[in-house]
Amino acid sequence: MSRVCKKCNQEVPPGRCKVCQKEYSRLYAKRNPRQDYYKAYQRTEKRKAVAREYYQSDRFKSLYRERVKTDPLFALKCRLRSLLYHSIKGRFSLGTKAAKLLGADFETVQLHLISTAIKNYGKYFPNRKYHIDHIVPCSSASSCDELIPLQNYTNLQYLTPSDNLEKGHKLDWSINS
């Protein structure tokens, strides 16, 4: 079921046209300079403390548990994220679930991640903090069968924390610096 957008005359799904909504948001941000204030607030220690408190609250934990019970794709994403995180931190061995999921041993994964840091930043800095990012985000998967191949080591890259947070779950993102 679809409709025709009145502004751009394109056939779109029900709701707002994404193209027109994006343009409206861009113009709104230009006309309303308070957006800069909100962006600055998001980076403050006070905001981080509020967020930390919320994520440790019983309300968040109960909502999280409920979503894990009712949404199988979300539950699988959480389990895979946890498995990969703990396996990489603990230097997994060849026969583990993580090695099968990643499709390589620890040294191969580490060399691949270092090569992505060199490709992205021109040099690998061992003392710099990096986030391990999925090039094609896990959020793009619409089923469990689509999610498993996204865990392969060739879909992972090192990004600095600020670049990773800026990228979010975008597919068409590139490093600006």
Q: Distances in Å between the alpha carbon of 148 and those of 103, 112, 167?
A: 11, 19, 21
Mean pLDDT of 11-20: 75
Output the pLDDT for position 35.
Answer: 62
Distance in angstroms (rounded) separating the CA atoms of residues 109 and 157: 10
> What is the percent of the chain where pLDDT is above 70?
90
Reported confidence tier of residue 100, pLDDT bands at 50, 70, 90: confident
SS3 call for 4: strand
Helix (H) or strand (E) holding 55: helix 45-55
Which tokens go with 94?
């060849």
Instruction: Say if residues 29 and 35 touch (Cβ distance below 8 Å).
Output: yes
Output the pLDDT for position 118.
Answer: 92
The pTM is what? 0.61
